[in-house]
Amino acid sequence: MHRKASLAVLLEPEDSLATLKNCDGYYDCPLGTNGELLGPLVGYAGRYDDGNGNKLQFVGFKYYNFARAERFPHVCEMFAEGICSRLAGEGIDFDVIVGAPMGGIILSSDIARLANRRRGFMEKKVTKVATPTSKEESVLVMDRHELYLGEDVILGEDVVNNMSTTDKAWKIITERRARLIAITCAFNRSGKTFFQAPDGSKIPIVCDLDIPTKQFRQDDPIVAEYVAKNQVVWHPKDDWNILKAAMASATAQIG
C-alpha cells in the first residue's frame, strides 16, 4: 500500500509549487472573508536582533516544506532535472556540489548524479546540548568529504530563505582554497538573485522556482496581534499536522 501511494504522487513539471502541494508540502495560512486568520502563522529559521540582545525568529504566512517532497525519488529527480537545466542555461559548470544540512543533501545528490559530478555535504556538529533553560548550539563542519585546490563548488539547498548558514559554508569552502560559484535550491523565497560573499563577489542563486515570500518581525503591526496570542507554529516541520489540519478546517468552513 505504501509503495503504491509513493508512486501516486503526481508530477507537474511546469508547476513546481503544484508538485509540492501534491506531496502535501505547502502551507498557506488560511484567511476568513474579512481577512482574519483561520490558522497559525509559521516561524522561519532566520532570526533578527530585537534591540535587547534577543535573537527572535521571523514569522510569515507561507511555508515550503521540501522534506515532504524529498521522500519520493521521482519527485526529487524532477526538481534536480529543473535545476540542472537552469545551470546549463546559465553556462555554470562545476566540479562538486556540497549539500547544506539537512535539507540540501538529498537534492544535491540527485543533481550530482544527473550532472555526473562529485558530491559531498556539510554537517552541523553539536557543541552544546540543549537544557531546560538554553538552546542547543552547533557549528557547521565538513569532515566527511574533501574539497581540493581550485575546484568550482556549488552549494546545494532545498529552500533558500535568509541564507543564514551561507556565510559559514562560504568560509569552509574558501578555507579549502576552492571557489563557491553558485547556490542551487528547489525554491528561492529570499527575493534575492545572488549571495553577497564576504569578499565582495556576487554568487548567483539558481533555483527551480523563484517565489519571493514576505517575512515579518514579530513586532510588525501586520502580525504582532497574532504573535502576542501565540498563534504561531514555531517549528513547522515538527508540527506539520497542526498546519495541515488548520488548512483543512478552513476549507471546510469556507467551502
**Residue extents of the structural domains in the chain:** 20-67+215-254, 73-210
Chain centre distance of CA 231: 22
Which residue, chain included where needed, has cell 509549487? 17
Chain centre distance of CA 22: 18
Length of the chain: 255
Q: What pLDDT digit, counting tens, does each position of 125-137 carry? A: 887 776 665 566 7
Strand, coil or helix: 252: helix
Q: What is residue 9's DSSP assignment?
A: P
Q: How confident is the model at residue 199 (pLDDT cuts 50, 70, 90)?
A: very high
More confident residue, 127 or 139: 139
Q: What pLDDT digit, counting tens, does each position of 41-68 carry? A: 999 988 899 888 888 999 999 999 999 9
pLDDT at 245 over 60: yes
Q: How confident is the model at residue 139 (pLDDT cuts 50, 70, 90)?
A: confident
SS (H, E, C) 117-162: CEEEECEEEEEECCECCECCEEEEECCCCCCCCCCEEEEECCEECC
Q: Tell me the average pLDDT of the chain.
A: 91
**Which pLDDT belongs to residue 102?**
87
Rounded to 10 degrees, the C-alpha dihedral 155/159/162/164 comes to -50
Burial track 46-65 (b if 16+ CB lie within 10 A, e otherwise): beeeeeeeeebbbbbbbbbb
The strand ranges marked E within the chain are 26-28, 41-49, 55-60, 62-64, 96-99, 118-121, 123-128, 137-141, 152-156, 159-160, 179-188, 194-196, 202-210, 232-233
User: What angle in degrees, to the nearest 10, is found between the helix axes of 104-115 and 73-89?
Assistant: 60
- Fold of the domain built from segment(s) 73-210: Rossmann fold (3.40.50)
**Taking a C-beta distance cutoff of 8 angstroms, is the pair 42, 243 a contact?**
yes
Give the pairing type, strands 202-210 and 26-28: unpaired
